[in-house]
Amino acid sequence: MKQVLITRPESSAQQLAEQLQARGLTPLVVPLYTFRALQPSGEVQRAWSRTSVRKLAVFTSPRAVHFGLAHIPPGQLGEFESAAIGDATRERLEALGHEVQVRATSGYTSEDLLQVPALASNPGLAVVFCAPGGRQTLASGLDQLGWKVVKALVYERVALEPAFAQIAAIEAADDLISTWTSISALELAREQLPGPVWDKVLCAPALVISQRIQHHLEQLGASRIILADGPGNADLLRSIMRLLGRGDSA
């Protein structure tokens, strides 16, 4: 029976696991990190008071919405345009009653958002809600377009150490596929899995959600890498089933 290694955070990993089980597959749920809130720097607080400048609040993920909205003073929400990376981020903002003025018509990466024509005219202040070390491509791209970029670091990843039973399940798998939704997860797996287990993961087919992750995985030595339809569970499920020749079962 095909085993599917899921390394994304617990809640979304369990949702995908249930969908895989319903289709006769064996999910191996190994969340490699969780998240906790951070207090952004004083520079972010000072940014809200700037006047006579176009202001853009950039939400890079549904998680950035969850942790970031509370750090925009309620009286100033109307002074900002909202930008969202990916449909899931846009949908989370809209569900909370916030209009999204800037978004890519397709795609879910920083590069996709940077192609939006509205960003190339009348640049001002862009506050990017993200985690430490993240979205440098976005920040650099906005800077090149003339924006003053302030990173609002409102959450951080917290590494989780795989349990013995989780490692043993990977080691015992006889027909493995791995799924990767972040480079952080890849690096944590490389650091925390025993060498032979990590080598086994690298030798198995890998499903990734971006070319950036694909290139990183190639540098680590993997060769059988497939680009998924998108970052959501529905995208991953559809891609997994197609990889198994069961495209009509998703």
Query: What are 8-51's pLDDT values in tens digits?
Result: 999 899 999 999 999 999 999 999 999 999 998 888 888 777 76
The answer, yes or no, to whether residue 250 has pLDDT greater than 60, is: no
Predicted pLDDT at 82 = 93
Per-residue CA distances from 199 to 111, 124, 219, 221, 230 (Å): 31, 47, 13, 9, 26
Predicted pLDDT at 1 = 64
Confidence band of 247 (pLDDT split at 50, 70, 90)? low
Predicted pLDDT at 19 = 95
Dihedral (CA of 54, 39, 182, 100) sign = negative
Average pLDDT over residues 212-235: 92
Identify the residue with better confidence: 169 or 107: 169
Condensed to tens digits (0 to 9), the pLDDT of residues 110-169 reads: 999 999 999 999 999 999 999 988 788 999 999 999 999 999 999 999 999 999 999 999
Instruction: Name the region of 232 (left: φ>0; alpha: ψ -120 to 50; beta: rest).
Output: beta
Q: Interhelix angle for 233-243 vs 10-21, to 10°?
A: 40
- The tokens for 46 are 């000072």
The answer, yes or no, to whether residue 172 has pLDDT greater than 80, is: yes
Find tokens 């090149």 and name the residue.
144
Beta bridge partners of 227: 208
Predicted pLDDT at 78 = 77
CB-CB contact of 93 with 65 (8 Å): yes
Condensed to tens digits (0 to 9), the pLDDT of residues 177-213 reads: 999 998 989 999 999 999 999 999 999 999 999 888 9
Q: State pTM to two decimals.
A: 0.81
The answer, yes or no, to whether residue 230 has pLDDT greater than 60, is: yes
114-119 — which CB contacts under 8 Å span 24+ positions? 114/138, 114/141, 114/142, 114/145, 116/83, 119/83, 119/145, 119/147
CA gyration radius, the chain: 19
Confidence band of 53 (pLDDT split at 50, 70, 90)? confident
Predicted pLDDT at 42 = 84
Per-residue CA distances from 81 to 40, 93, 108, 176 (Å): 20, 12, 19, 44
